[in-house]
């Protein structure tokens, strides 16, 4: 009997493929928990020099030590980064740029899920601030470095936004531009969906800019799969259910990091941009996820929001 999720897609990979499997034979020469840590491990395994942007530097040290035990040749560093704080994002970007390091691949992976209503340090609803605005600013601040790297290395640059199938449950209008901070109409899951839809639209608008500018960088988004991680910590009922049935129907961390590693490294994805992936294959998004006007509006809204802070 074959489980439906073991059926391979066009890429040759499926729901249960692992990050190591989808990067087998890939040479990538030239994060602190869950799939971020596994993505870091596999990128290092394939020869990439990985810089982890992490909020918890103690956890990052543990991840680094664990990976080095397994892969003594791994090239790993960590720089402090809190995506919910624009000052922290600016400090990280400044530190990275002053190091003179090249940047071929940027993986926007941080996220919080379905938390109670709260404002960030910059007075932006916390899920939108962390999952979208922080990544939006980080990407913009590092773009010149990526462009320089692609010119000098003659290698394609890749930006990977870790979104979610939860984008299907965003508010009916997609992005609530006039109600981002409206606590009275806040719904924790719809706000999460909104932030994940923003990840998709961000990658799509980046793609448009890169094509217009003739830049050799791609931008894609993806759903990693429903994974047993600490993202569910804000929902006790869901957390309890996951601990009971999670191992039967949810991906493990190795499988959860697969699509991220596939989109970041695999030769099959060369030249592919503005797509949404799931199970290491191109996947359909919602009409909102393909709405060019919504993507442009979100871009302008995000630029203005960051300028005001």
Query: What is the total residue count of the chain?
Result: 309
Work out the angle between the directed axes of helices 34-45 and 258-265 (0-180°, nearest 10). 40
The number of helix segments (H) and strand segments (E) in the chain equals: 11, 7
- Judging by DSSP bridges, how do beta strands 281-282 and 105-108 pair with one another? unpaired
Identify which of 252, 149, 160 has the alpha carbon closest to the alpha carbon of residue 199: 160
Both tokens of 196, joined, read 């994940």
Both tokens of 308, joined, read 């005001």
CA distances from 37 to 44, 90, 239 (A): 11, 23, 21
Enumerate the H helices of 214-269 as residue ranges.
236-249, 253-256, 258-265
The single-letter DSSP state of residue 55 is S
Q: Is 276 marked active-site?
A: no
Identified catalytic residue from 171, 186, 192, 276: 186
- Cα four-point dihedral sign 27, 28, 32, 34: negative
Active site residues: 186
């Amino acid at each position: 009997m074959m489980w439906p999720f073991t059926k391979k897609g066009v890429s040759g990979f499926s729901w249960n493929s692992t990050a190591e499997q989808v990067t087998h034979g890939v040479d990538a020469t030239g994060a602190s928990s869950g799939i971020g840590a596994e993505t870091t491990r596999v990128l290092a395994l394939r020869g990439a020099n990985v810089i982890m942007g992490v909020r918890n530097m103690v956890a990052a040290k543990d991840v680094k030590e664990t990976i080095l035990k397994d892969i003594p040749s791994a090239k790993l560093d960590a720089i402090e980064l809190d995506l919910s704080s624009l000052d922290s994002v600016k400090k990280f970007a400044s530190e990275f740029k002053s190091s003179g390091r090249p940047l071929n691949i940027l993986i926007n992976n941080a996220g919080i899920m379905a938390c109670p209503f709260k404002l960030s340090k910059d007075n932006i609803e916390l899920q939108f601030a962390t999952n979208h605005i922080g990544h939006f600013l980080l990407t913009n601040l590092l773009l010149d470095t990526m462009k320089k790297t692609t010119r000098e290395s003659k290698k394609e640059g890749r930006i990977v936004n870790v979104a979610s199938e939860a984008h299907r449950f965003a508010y009916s209008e997609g992005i609530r531009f006039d109600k981002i901070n409206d606590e009275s109409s806040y719904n924790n899951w719809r706000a999460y969906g909104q932030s994940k839809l923003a990840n998709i639209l961000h990658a799509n608008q980046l793609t448009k800019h890169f094509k217009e500018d003739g830049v050799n960088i791609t931008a894609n988004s993806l759903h990693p799969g429903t994974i047993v991680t600490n993202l569910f910590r804000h929902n006790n009922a869901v957390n309890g259910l996951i601990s009971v049935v999670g191992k039967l129907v949810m991906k493990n961390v190795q499988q959860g990091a697969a699509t991220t590693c596939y989109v970041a490294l695999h030769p099959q994805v060369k030249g592919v941009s503005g797509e949404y992936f799931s199970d290491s294959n191109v996947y359909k998004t919602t009409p909102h996820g393909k709405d060019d006007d919504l993507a442009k509006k979100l871009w302008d809204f995000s630029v203005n929001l960051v300028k005001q802070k």
